[in-house]
Amino acid sequence: MKHLLIENERLTRQLDFIIEADRLKSVMRRSPLVDGSRPENTAEHSWHVALAALLLSGYANEPVDVARVVRMLLVHDIVEIDAGDTYAYDVSGNRDKVERELRAAARLFGLLPDDQAAEFRALWEEFEDRATAESRFANALDRLMPLLHNYLNDGRVWREHHVNAAQVRGRMAPVAEGSAALGDIVAAVLQNSLARGLLDEEMFVPAAAGEIE
The residues that touch a copy of itself, with contacts defined as CB under 8 A, are 1-6, 8, 11, 14-15, 17-19, 21-26, 33-35, 37, 40-41, 43-44, 46-48, 50-52, 54-56, 59, 66-67, 70-71, 74-75, 112, 116, 148-149, 152, 181, 184-185, 188-189, 192, 196
Q: Based on CB atoms, which residue is closest to a copy of itself, 155 or 174?
A: 155
**To the nearest whole angstrom, how small is the minimum distance from the Cβ of residue 146 to a copy of itself?**
12
By beta-carbon proximity to a copy of itself, the closer residue of 14 and 94 is 14
| 33 Cβ contact list (under 8 Å, min separation 6) | 39, 40, 149
Query: Measured from the CB atom, is 145 or 212 closer to a copy of itself?
Result: 145
Of the pair 106, 188, the CB lying nearest a copy of itself is at 188
- Rounded least distance, CB 193 to a copy of itself, Å: 9
Closest approach, Cβ 102 to a copy of itself, in A, equals 21
Which ranges in the chain belong to alpha helices (H)? 9-21, 42-56, 66-75, 80-83, 91-95, 97-109, 114-129, 133-152, 156-160, 165-178, 180-195
Q: At its nearest, how many Å lie between a copy of itself and the CB of residue 178? A: 15
Of 21 and 203, which has the nearer Cβ to a copy of itself?
21
Q: For residue 168, which of 200, 136, 129 has the smallest C-alpha distance?
A: 200
What are the b/e assignments for 53-85, b being 16+ CB within 10 Å? beebbebbbeebebebbbbbbbbbbbbbbbbbb
In a 13 Å sphere around the CA of 139, the CA atoms on its Cβ side amount to 23
